[in-house]
Chain A
Amino acid sequence: MPALSTQLLVIGGGATGLGIAWDACLRGIKVVLVEQSDVGQGTSGRYHGLLHSGGRYVLSDPPSATDCARENEILRRLAPTTIEDTGGLFVAAPADPADFPDRWVAACQQTGVAAEEVNLAAVLQREPLLNPSLARAFQVGDASLDSFDLLHLLCTSIRAQGGQVWLRHKVHRLLMQAGAVVGAEVVNLASGESTHVGAHLVVNAAGPWAKTVAALAGVDLPIALGRGAMVAMASRLVNTVVNRCKPPSDGDILVPVGTVSVLGTTDEHVESPDDLTIAAWEVDLLLAEAEVLVPGIAAHRALRAWSGIRPLYRPAPAAGAETRALPRAHTILDHGVTHGIPGLVSVIGGKLTTFRLMAEQVMQVVTPRLGVAAPCRTADTPLEPTGRPYHRLPHRLGHLEHPHDPPAPQVICECELVTRPDLEAALAAIEAPDLDDLRRDLRLGMGPCQAAFCGYRAAGITLRTLDAPPLDGGLAAFLQERWRGLRPLAWGHTLRQLEFSRRIAAELLGLTDAPEAP
């Protein structure tokens, strides 16, 4: 079995793990990060796109609010290409508790979250679809953040610093020596080949899967999983992030991300990190709550629904089943101290906005163990620019209308304007890619037609470009993944879209499980 050794092994390729690996790289630490799937396949990629101002937590979790406010500013400097400065609003609807806004403003001042009451007429002029009978409105520093772009940026930066990121590698077991964790046996899921990675320290940043990883060292981590559903509306109904100014609950945010508006979220306790189902009531609830912010929103077309799993640290005894009541702030466990198993540190919980701070705090635990004295540099080291500006459709349209090198390239995905050269470049850049990776990289198939046309075209390009592609270029799996996100919204236009895709797939392409003639 091939073997290698490193100072730090990070398990998990979400914002937390990548943030830790990036922090370690900047301190000159040798690091290997393993991710069982692709970057952003877990909680970080399944979020609503909101870069918090902190306003959401000023009353429920004041320290988190302060952290958010500070990290929000830092992230805007470090990764400006991933953030759209939409600004944010906290609005009180007529039926919301009338005394809440004043308490909230006072808490904003105490926690250092900038919030300013704004004139309602001006707000409605800026956001004409908002409910005209709102009671009050406050402006905050929210923004929308493309987490796929941020994670890719982290990946690129880590690799440029000499760190290693291994995608589609799963930890099979942790290597133990004299009761201490000294590395892991890691399986390449594409080839089935195992590698022994010896490490001075292993960080478990596996998010919802952290419990499974810790169990490999015999540690029972008390983690509760809360599943949140989100719905993307097919158009950009607001240009500003809109939050309800009331105690946090289901369906109280509306986030403009790229071409869509995201409604979030619900909170359901689940047992498995892979339980990503979405119930009809969750969608109904999100739309009903959004109706308060944007009257008539249910008449707009819903594009897609998805859910993400929040891992939350819940030390026994459990206080209650509702996961939202648990603190959002993260927990760092040095298992040498907590369980007598040196060599393993787990980090649980947290939010995307504060991923950098979490990483810094984890490294404060890690560095003494590694005997490294170098200070944290993530707060003032911009992530390597990839040369890709914040994704906007008009930008791609401009490229097509005024190509540098005529004729204009073939457009493979019309909704998101993904071209053949874009796809070919992405295929060359990723190891063992599938169509879903291309989606995360390029937004392929994320528009209104949900891959009804581009899936087939892209599968053909995959077939021609890759060494060992699946026989259908990954088409059936990609269409199934799109189906999954449309299904919870299957009525009206979305059901028509669903049936349209299915008709093309089944009746023109023959992709069906129905019995066929001999």
Chain B
Amino acid sequence: MNDLVVVGEGLTGLFAAWLAAKRGARTTLIAYGRGGLELSSGCLHLASGASPRLGITSSRLPHPYALVGVGTVLRAIQALLDLLEASSLPYSGSLDTNMLLPTAAGETIAAAFAPHSLARSDLAEQGTMTIAALTGFRDFDAALASRRLAVRLERSIATLDLPLPGPAPRRDLYATDLARRFEDPQWREETCRAWKPQLIGVRKLGLPAVLGLRHHARVMQAIEEALELTAFEIPTLPPCVPGLRLETVLREACLAAGVDVLEGAKAVGRVDGRGSSARACGVVAMTAGGPQLYDAGAVLLATGDLLHGGLVAQQNGLIRESVFDLPVVHNPDRATWTSPHAADPQPYASFGVRVDASMHPLDDRGEPLLPNLYAAGGLLAGARRTDEGSRQGVALSTAWRAVEAAIP
């Protein structure tokens, strides 16, 4: 018997499972696919605008921030930052000011907290920089990253193409391939030797975010020493390595805390209707070996939004929650779901499950559906996380609040 079953292993699910296990709960994490962290820049986006704190405190219901409050956001972030620090993946930043970080397309993104390697690119800092692409690596282009940025910042940004030593690969390399290569000391040293002559006079060098995965801190330090400069990273097309570093730390923390992780299994909710009030009694996990029952004192849904499968949109205008078939706040007219322009805010982004301040999913009358069922993260209604720049803030704070309520 589990105290808690968490469904989903994105940022929300991993963080919640780790928190619950740390609180002493017997916790099982069940995931069908890999969460969304390979689509993540690795930064903790809380709210865009100059001050993340202001963005959070000015949120109104039904936004999840208005349910949890800024104090919960702060506690959740601090818990994660402490874990990251202890796991050699230190972050910097603050709740009061957003950093402005350059992207691979020469745009900027606001982030409250970022891993050191990204935080160093904060455009609030003056000074010259050089941005380098790696020859043959398709998913980061120095010209695209620098031209628009140079116009915006009104400073010149030099660009370089740096070679990757060794025989030509037999296929095109992804960011994760390169990250693993950089963890090989011999290859890394050879690479730095090959780069050095091209970097004379360069003091601050921007590279695609491929400088190591698990041993990123060591790789970063070795490269800076060998090249005698300050390096920073810019996120690439997915798989995005800084997001995967975050995933690695959380996954390992879960396992170390005793979380039982079951991957590749779809979960179907189970409800016990006997007695006077119905309760969630666990899930059925559809494993390769057939359906398995997982009993639990409480269930936390961290299955994500429409992209990740927590919500499923149908042609007939219905949007369904995929584990317990919970009611989903949405407009049933399919034609209203999207905006004509891709860059505009999208109505579908705020569809989701409505919850109370303890993260209990609510029925149409606003009453908790089941006393021991919780939902957090992308599954929740009311936040437009891409447009608000609130994705990680919503994930972490609602996970924190749900675990607090489920494992008192």
Residues of A at under 8 Å CB distance from B? 279-280, 284, 287, 298, 407-408, 410-412, 453, 456-457, 459-460, 463-464, 471-473, 475-476, 479-480, 482-484, 487, 490-492, 495-496, 498-518
A507 touches B386 (CB 8 A): yes
B50 touches A518 (CB 8 A): yes
B40 lies within 8 A of chain A by Cβ:
yes
CB distance from B101 to the nearest CB of A (A): 9
* Contact partners of A475 in chain B: CB under 8 A: 105, 144
Decide yes or no: A456 and B343 within 8 Å by CB, A490-B334, A490-B338, A507-B40 being known contacts. Answer: no
B93 lies within 8 A of chain A by Cβ:
no
Decide yes or no: A513 and B103 within 8 Å by CB, A456-B141, A471-B147, A491-B313 being known contacts. Answer: no
A509 touches B138 (CB 8 A): no
B100 touches A504 (CB 8 A): no
Known pairs A502-B342, A514-B345 / 14 extra A-B pairs, C-beta < 8 Å: A280-B334, A410-B136, A412-B138, A457-B138, A459-B141, A463-B141, A503-B386, A504-B237, A506-B343, A508-B41, A508-B240, A512-B343, A517-B98, A518-B50
A514 touches B389 (CB 8 A): yes
A-B pairs with beta carbons under 8 Å apart, 5 shown: A411-B172, A472-B144, A483-B341, A492-B312, A499-B349
Q: Which of A284, A479, A505, A517 contacts B48 (CB 8 A)?
A: A517
* Contact partners of A487 in chain B: CB under 8 A: 338, 340
B49 lies within 8 A of chain A by Cβ:
yes
B391's closest neighbor in chain A, by CB? A507
* Contact partners of A514 in chain B: CB under 8 A: 48, 345, 386-389
The 5 tightest CB contacts between A and B, nearest first, are: A510-B107, A460-B141, A483-B342, A510-B103, A509-B105
A456 touches B139 (CB 8 A): yes
A505 to B346, CA, bound (A): 14
A496 to B172, CA, bound (A): 26
Most chain A beta-carbon contacts within 10 A, residue among B313, B315, B386: B315
Q: Which of B49, B144, B313 contacts A463 (CB 8 A)?
A: B144
Give the size category of B's interface with A. 35 or more
B307 touches A503 (CB 8 A): yes
Residues of B at under 8 Å CB distance from A? 39-41, 45, 48-50, 98, 100, 103-110, 136, 138-139, 141, 143-144, 147-148, 151, 168-172, 235-238, 240, 305-307, 309, 312-315, 334-335, 337-338, 340-346, 348-349, 386-389, 391
CB distance from A462 to the nearest CB of B (A): 9
B346 touches A502 (CB 8 A): yes
Q: Which of A298, A453, A513 contacts B344 (CB 8 A)?
A: A513
CB distance from A442 to the nearest CB of B (A): 16
A505 touches B342 (CB 8 A): yes
* Contact partners of B349 in chain A: CB under 8 A: 499
Q: Which of B98, B104, B171, B335 contacts A508 (CB 8 A)?
A: B104
Q: Which of A411, A476, A495, A517 contacts B306 (CB 8 A)?
A: A495
CB distance from B339 to the nearest CB of A (A): 9
Helix, strand, loop or mixed for chain A's interface?
helix
A513 touches B143 (CB 8 A): no
A459's closest neighbor in chain B, by CB? B144
B100 touches A517 (CB 8 A): yes
CB distance from A233 to the nearest CB of B (A): 14
A490's closest neighbor in chain B, by CB? B338
A374 to B386, CA, bound (A): 64
* Contact partners of A506 in chain B: CB under 8 A: 343, 386-387
CB distance from A23 to the nearest CB of B (A): 40
* Contact partners of A412 in chain B: CB under 8 A: 138
A400's closest neighbor in chain B, by CB? B171
A287 to B39, CA, bound (A): 32
A511 touches B48 (CB 8 A): no
B36's closest neighbor in chain A, by CB? A503
A288's closest neighbor in chain B, by CB? B315
B105 touches A472 (CB 8 A): yes
* Contact partners of B236 in chain A: CB under 8 A: 508
A44 to B285, CA, bound (A): 51
Decide yes or no: A479 and B342 within 8 Å by CB, A284-B315, A410-B172, A471-B147 being known contacts. Answer: yes
A459 to B141, CA, bound (A): 9
B105 touches A510 (CB 8 A): yes
Decide yes or no: A457 and B141 within 8 Å by CB, A471-B147, A487-B338, A495-B313 being known contacts. Answer: yes
Decide yes or no: A508 and B103 within 8 Å by CB, A459-B144, A503-B39 being known contacts. Answer: yes
